[in-house]
Structure 1
Amino acid sequence: MANNNSLQTLQQTNRLDFLFTAGFEMFSAVPSLSRYYMNEFQHTLNEFELTAQKNIERLACKSCGQISVPGLSSRVEIVQKKAEKKRKQRKNKIQTTCLTCSRITLYHGSYKKKLPQPLSDTPAVEPVAPIVDSKKKKNKGKKNNLKALLSKSSTQAKNNNSGSGGLGDFLSSL
């Protein structure tokens, strides 16, 4: 009897795994088939009385099965709640709207304030060259210089048997 239960559990797992991966693989090629697979995934979870993890549960619309990609298939907004009293803060809500079936879903957010909106409707232009933190680069160079001076001083110490100040030279170069 235990073997039969494990076989049934394995079949359930394989079915859920197939439906989930097929839904994501068909998303860009055939969105309607993707919705069908994800809808079947959700119905199979209910049929077997299983619950998905929160992050997997939020990947698709509960109504139509559309995979939620912000900006492409869904719209995500932060709804800021104002507190009645000044001392007590209220959590923000994350509002997700499915662009296929227009279902609105609310999730719990955090206490952080809403991000400021840009002044103009034009998107910000990103810089072409990546910004490099010069401090890290500078420290890396000093580390390499220290290694070079220490190896130089150790070779000089072997040759001359004198401890000329390689470390002192490094510290004076700072």
Structure 2
Amino acid sequence: MARSRKKNKAVARSIAQERIEYLFSLAKTEFPTNPEMSKRYVSLARKIGMRHRVSIPSELKRTFCKSCGSLLVPGNNSRVRLKGNSIIISCLDCGNIKRYPYGKEKSE
């Protein structure tokens, strides 16, 4: 019985991962016409990830604001700046700021 339960969880997690990616693609296509709908798609994707304990991939994680839940599109509702060794992404809806390091190469 335990094996089938583990198998079902693995199947559910893979389906959840596919749905998260699909919802983010829908949010990106819907943003120019209806930003509120894209915000709803992002929130659904986050809920699915939390329910099934699936982490959102890092390339998708950088595309939404954790504070207000909106999809971040540079030029429309976000500002991207390079300062020192970090990328600074500011949400223009809520004012939240995210910083990501870049450019540090490992020396041998």
Show structure 1 runs of 4+ deviating over 3 A: 2-7
SS in 1 for 2:32: coil
Q: Which residue of 2 aligns with 1:96?
A: 89
TM-score for the superposition, normalised by structure 2: 0.74
TM-score for the superposition, normalised by structure 1: 0.49
| Deviation string, structure 1 residues 59-96 (Cα, Å, up to 9, x no partner) | 1112222222222210111222xxxxxxxxxxx12111
Does 2:25 align with 1:21? yes
SS in 1 for 2:80: strand
**1:49–1:58 distance in 2 versus 1, CA, 3 Å:** same
Higher RCO (CA 8 Å, separation ≥ 6 residues): 2
Q: Which residue of 2 aligns with 1:107?
A: 100
* Structure 2 unaligned spans of 5+: none
Q: Provide the aligned length of Structure 1 versus Structure 2.
A: 100
Relative to its length, the structure with more strand (as a share) is: 2
Correspondence for 1:61 among 62, 65, 77: 65
In the alignment, the residues of structure 1 paired with residue 100 and residue 44 of structure 2 have an alpha-carbon distance, to the nearest angstrom, of 23
RMSD: 2.2
CA drift of 1:31 comes to 0.2
* Structure 1 unaligned spans of 5+: 81-91, 112-174
Which piece of structure 1 moves more, 17-26 or 71-80?
A: 17-26
**Quick check: which has more Rg, 1 or 2?**
1
